[in-house]
């Protein structure tokens, strides 16, 4: 996986949310959480596995809404931040954090109702293998996001510390089909890339987001969106 050593550093985990989800990044945080909720609802008593749960942004949110959730990550430092959030939210008893490898999930077949991963596939060196594992342990649903190759993200992708794998829509559809999944729904968003929003004050983010959404609603929008959310069923 790209950036594996960097991702596990204590200082990276401690600063992860602040660097990505302060300033205009708050808007990204809200949109990603909405995408996850829209795809996974209803959550009451649903068994969920989150791949690359990181600092528990989604893990804690879903536990608060009734999910019985396991968060898996390779970074103990990231999960330590997630456990703090779970305790603060009063949902530590609904979450199990496990250190593990997403390419070799430590669960039997058909173990969870839903398996999802956010901000993971851009780091995946063998995406087909990871997606096949997600499919194997899910009995109902697989949900994930990708960063897209025909988008403004390419303007700064090479500057990132470990780069990002960018995907074409047809490539992702082939991966889904190859894993034995059926695509239920796909949503494409953010003509302006995440990196742009993180650099601007939160008070300006809404205005830029309105323009972003207006472009996204045109016939061109799906083709230039920087992020895609993929919802598939087993």
Q: Is pLDDT above 60 for 161?
A: no
Q: In total, how many domains does the chain have?
A: 1
Q: Is pLDDT above 90 for 214?
A: yes
- pLDDT-based confidence at 107, cuts 50/70/90? very high
Higher pLDDT, 155 or 142: 142
Q: Is pLDDT above 60 for 92?
A: yes
Task: Give the predicted TM-score (pTM) of the model.
Answer: 0.93
Picking from 46-55, 112-121, 148-157, which range would have the lowest pLDDT averaged per residue?
A: 148-157
- pLDDT-based confidence at 7, cuts 50/70/90? low
Instruction: Write out the residue range of the structural domain in which residue 225 sits.
Output: 4-233
pLDDT at 126: 93
Tell me the pLDDT tens digit for each residue of 18-65: 888 999 999 999 999 999 999 999 999 899 999 999 999 999 999 999
Q: What CATH number is given to the structural domain containing 210?
A: 3.40.50.150
- pLDDT-based confidence at 11, cuts 50/70/90? confident
User: In terms of Cα–Cα distance, which of 163, 166, 127 is closest to 150?
Assistant: 166
Q: Is 161 exposed, middle or buried (0-12, 13-18, 19+ CB in 10 A)?
A: exposed
- pLDDT-based confidence at 163, cuts 50/70/90? low
Q: Is pLDDT above 90 for 104?
A: yes
* HEC string for the chain: CCCHHHHCCHHHHHHHHHHHHCCCHHHHHHHHHHHHHHHHCCCCCCEEEEECCCCCHHHHHHHHCCCEEEEEECCHHHHHHHHHHHHHHCCHHHEEEEECCCCCCCCCCCCEEEEEECCCHHHCCCHHHHHHHHHHHEEEEEEEEEEECCCHHHHCHHHCCCCCCCECHHHHHHHHHHCCCEEEEEEEECCCCHHHHHHCCHHHHHHHHHHHHHHHCCCCHHHHCCEEEEEEEC
Q: Is pLDDT above 80 for 9?
A: no
pLDDT at 127: 96
The rounded distance, in Å, linking the Cα atoms of 180 and 85 is: 35
Assigned token pair, 88:
């603060």
């Amino acid at each position: 996986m790209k950036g594996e050593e960097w991702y596990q550093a204590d200082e990276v985990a401690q600063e992860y949310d602040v660097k990505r989800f302060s300033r205009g990044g708050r808007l990204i945080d809200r949109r990603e959480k909405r995408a996850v909720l829209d795809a996974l609802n209803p959550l009451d008593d649903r068994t969920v596995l989150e791949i690359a749960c990181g600092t528990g942004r989604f893990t804690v949110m879903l536990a608060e809404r009734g999910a019985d959730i396991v968060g898996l990550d390779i970074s103990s430092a990231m999960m330590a931040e997630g456990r703090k959030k779970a305790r603060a939210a009063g949902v530590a008893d609904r979450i199990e954090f496990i250190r593990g490898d997403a390419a070799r999930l430590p669960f039997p077949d058909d173990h969870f109702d839903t398996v999802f991963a956010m901000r993971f596939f851009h780091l995946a060196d063998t995406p087909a293998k990871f997606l096949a594992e997600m499919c194997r342990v899910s009995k109902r649903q697989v949900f994930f996001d990708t960063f897209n190759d025909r988008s403004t993200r390419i303007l700064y992708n090479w500057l990132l510390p470990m780069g990002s794998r960018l995907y074409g829509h047809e490539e992702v559809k082939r991966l889904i089909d190859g894993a034995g999944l059926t695509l239920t729904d796909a949503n494409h968003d953010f003509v302006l890339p995440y990196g742009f929003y993180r650099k601007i004050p939160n008070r300006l983010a809404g205005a830029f987001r309105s323009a972003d959404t207006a472009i996204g609603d045109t016939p061109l929008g799906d083709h230039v969106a920087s992020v895609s959310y993929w919802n598939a069923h087993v």
